[in-house]
């Protein structure tokens, strides 16, 4: 099973700042089959990025994804107030099994 | 509007069984794979099980293998999760989620999620 480790666990930032979240896999993720989700309190997760760097429908272009192999990154170019949430990475390179990372919380400083 | 509505969550005693359902609407259900993902209180997301569009590929997390069974009824646009031998570690909000790609036995990234149904296992 591929284990995903997200860092840091929590980030305290101010609106307008640039943020970079990390997701590291215990082994190479096939075909860069990695996605990123945003989850706000009391809500279901929302797909942001798939295939490591493709934005899902309706996702603003301040969100971008990059990486391959075992190291992946989600970048928010300029934090908006609605971006404070928990972010999860998820790999689907080892179907029929999916795994999620432990999450990174982005909180207001 | 694409919609997934879960039901069947309840408070149950350890060792008992429960069956979750997910009603899908607003999209062509029978060409998409489907998943169950759970979230324990205050914890992260855990994939539980997935089933391909035609039932040809089924997968389970190790934590539920042999206890949970996923199924679907394409004629009724419905997804199910039969949960047996429940234990307190199964306590969570259970989400039904639609896979992103069509007509494949491979699992991708779920792109539509329901609001979830709560399962509590306690004596």
pLDDT tens figures, B59-78: 999 999 999 999 999 999 99
Report which of A30, A47, A23, A3 is spatially closest to residue A94, judged by C-alpha positions. Answer: A30
pLDDT at A85: 97
Which residues of chain A neighbour B57 with C-beta distances below 8 Å? 95-96
> Which of A39, A47, A101 is facing B109, going by the closest CB pair?
A47
3-class state of residue B58 by DSSP: strand
Confidence of residue A31 (pLDDT cuts 50, 70, 90): confident
Average pLDDT for A14-32: 94
CA-closest candidate to residue A90, choices A43, A33, A22, A31: A33
Percent of chain A predicted with pLDDT > 90: 90
* Contact: B62, A39; criterion CB under 8 Å: no
Task: Please give the share of chain B, as a percent, with pLDDT higher than 90.
Answer: 96
pLDDT tens for A36-57 read 999 999 999 999 999 999 999 9
Q: Which residues of B touch A99 (CB under 8 A)?
A: 47
Residue of B60, B105, B109, B118 to mutate, testing the A interface (most A Cβ within 10 Å of its Cβ):
B109
CA-nearest of B61, B80, B109 to B4 is B80
Q: Closest-CA residue in chain A for B60? A: A97
Q: Which of A90, A91, A98 to mutate to test the interface with B (most CBs of B within 10 A)?
A: A98
Q: Residues B95, B40: contact at Cβ < 8 Å?
A: no
Report how far apart, in Å, the C-alpha atoms of B59 and of each of A45, B20, B55 are.
Answer: 21, 17, 10
Q: Rounded distance, CA A67 to CA B82, Å?
A: 37
Please tell me if residue B38 touches chain A, with a CB cutoff of 8 Å: no
Q: A84 Cβ partners below 8 Å, 6+ apart?
A: A106, A107, A108
- Cα gap B55→B53, rounded to integer Å: 6
B11: helix, coil or strand? strand
pLDDT number for residue A93: 87
Q: Does A59 touch chain B (CB under 8 A)?
A: no
What is residue A58's three-state secondary structure? coil
Q: Tens digits of per-residue pLDDT, B89-118?
A: 999 999 999 999 999 888 889 999 999 999
Residue A1 scores a pLDDT above 90: no
C-alpha distance from A12 to closest chain B C-alpha (Å)? 19
A83: phi then psi, degrees, rounded to nearest 5: -90, -5
Q: Of B44, B45, B28, which Cα lies nearest the Cα of B99?
A: B28
String of b and e for A35-63 (b: at least 16 CB within 10 Å)? Answer: bbbbbeeeebbbbbbbebbebbeebeeeb
Assess whether pLDDT exceeds 90 at residue A59. yes
């Amino acid at each position: 099973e591929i284990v995903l480790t997200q860092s840091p666990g929590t980030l305290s930032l101010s609106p307008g700042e640039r943020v970079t979240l990390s997701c590291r896999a215990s082994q190479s993720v096939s075909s860069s089959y990695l996605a990123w989700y945003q989850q706000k309190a009391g809500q279901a997760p929302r797909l942001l990025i798939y295939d490591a760097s493709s934005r899902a429908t309706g996702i603003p272009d301040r969100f971008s994804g990059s990486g391959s192999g075992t190291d992946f990154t989600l970048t928010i170019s300029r934090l908006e107030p609605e971006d404070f949430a928990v972010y999860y990475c998820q790999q689907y390179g080892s179907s029929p099994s999916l795994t999620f990372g432990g999450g990174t919380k982005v909180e207001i400083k | 509007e694409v919609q997934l509505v879960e039901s069947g969550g309840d408070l149950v005693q350890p060792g008992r069984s429960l069956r979750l359902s997910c009603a899908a609407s607003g999209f062509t259900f029978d060409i998409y794979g489907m998943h169950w993902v759970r979230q324990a209180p205050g914890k992260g997301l855990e994939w539980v099980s997935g089933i391909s569009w035609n039932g040809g590929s089924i997968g389970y997390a190790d934590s539920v293998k042999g206890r949970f069974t996923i199924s679907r009824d394409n004629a009724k646009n419905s997804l199910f999760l039969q949960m047996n031998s429940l234990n307190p570690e199964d306590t969570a909000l259970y989400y039904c989620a639609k896979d992103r790609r069509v007509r494949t036995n491979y699992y991708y990234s779920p792109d539509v999620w329901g609001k979830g149904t709560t399962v509590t296992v306690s004596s």
